[in-house]
Chains A and B, each alone.
Chain A
Amino acid sequence: MSKSVVVGISDLNAVKAPDQLITYALGSCVGICLYDRTTKIAGLAHIMLPSSKEMGGGTNQPFRYADTGIAALVKMMVAMGAIGGHIQAKIAGGAQMFAATSNTAISNIGQRNVEAVRQTLNQMRIPILADDTGSNYGRTVIFNSEDGMMLVKSAARGEKLL
């Protein structure tokens, strides 16, 4: 029997096969799915903001930020037996939910989150195998630890298996 583990906003978790991870309704937040194919250990982080550094005071909520959140997820997966060098990523989210023409701070946060996630993964030498980011709609992500497939569900575009 496999179970589903729900990951909330500014949270993360990791499971072993055959369990799956779900995070609901990513808007401008980004969901980062990490997977080690050899040990079938899967992790999912739901980050809200790009960097713990620019915000100050990020240390008490490390899971909220792309940089500290991804690092914490890798650490958790390695502690469960995953091999750092085997970890690969799939990412989703980072939408611009409102056109918000009058407010640039709102309009580009999704994009800034995606860039920060890509940069952090790049620095950690984690390849990105699939990317369903940007545009203007919300996404729910279900990540399967059995095969490392990421199912992206949205009201606007239906389902995508990546």
Chain B
Amino acid sequence: MALKSYDDLSEMQIDVLREIGNIGSGNAATALSEMLGHPVSISVPKVRILDYAEVVTGLGGPETMVVGLLLTLSEDVEGMMMFLLQREFAHMSLSALLGEEIERFDQIDEMGMSAIREVSNIMAASYVTAIASLTGLTINISTPDLTIDMLGAIMSVPAIHFANISDKIIFIEDEFGNQEQSAPSHILLFPDVASLNKIMTNLGIDL
């Protein structure tokens, strides 16, 4: 039976998405270790299907300032991928990469933005590679667009784009860390429903 919306995902299918999340996060930790030049650890990611309001509330409310990075998926899988990074994550990556200590978002300069964009690019590729290698599908990702703003305003972009398809999101929460500190990162995946069906079919989980 084909899925009509994210609400139709069975426990087993969510488990599969969780496994994709696991593999993607593992890849991301490896890639980040190489980029940052020191070991990066990662907790077992939490993968949940949430609606927009739950994401916004869970991350501190609509006016919480976050870094948002938006990537477009194309080819066999159509959709969007979004990273929401809180201050701790931006701080950790920037201090490792550039030796910059930032307390506030408005201290991030062009150089910092470009470093964050690069980190998210590597992380996005890690997840997309996980999906592509497990399914045999070809997936292209765009370069990330970056903005630093209120969470609610950032979330309005995918919410509008998918308004008539679903109000649910595949939400992956990771905790990356090094010896001194750890910081959560949040990844939101929005494949369109046809692409979600393709992923499930190619994994042989066509319930």
Binding site for B on A (CB under 8 A): 8-9, 24-29, 48-49, 55-57, 64, 95, 97-103, 105-106, 109, 136-140, 154-156
Contacts and interface: CB of A to CB of B under 8 A. Distances in A.
B189 interface: no
Contact of A64 (B53, B63, B152, B163): B163
B81 to A, nearest CB: 12
Interface residues of B, number: 30
B205 interface: no
Interface of B, helix, strand, loop or mixed by DSSP? mixed
A139 B153 contact: yes
6 contacts: A9-B156, A24-B152, A48-B159, A57-B164, A138-B149, A154-B150
B154 A27 contact: yes
B161 interface: yes
A140 B63 contact: yes
Interface of B: 52-53, 61-63, 65, 68, 70, 72, 105, 142-143, 145-157, 159-161, 163-164
A142 B152 CA distance: 15
B145 A155 contact: no
A25 to B, nearest CB: 3
Contacts of A24: 61-63, 150, 152
A95 B63 CA distance: 16
Given A101-B145, A155-B149, A27 B161 contact: no
Given A102-B72, A140-B63, A155-B65, A27 B145 contact: no
A106 B63 contact: no
B60 to A, nearest CB: 12
Contacts of A57: 164
Contact of B142 (A95, A102, A140, A154): A102
Nearest to B105: A155
Given A9-B156, A27-B155, A98 B163 contact: no
B163 to A, nearest CB: 6
A25 B153 contact: yes
A100 B147 CA distance: 11
Contact of B152 (A25, A48, A100): A25
A29 B160 contact: yes
Nearest to B141: A102
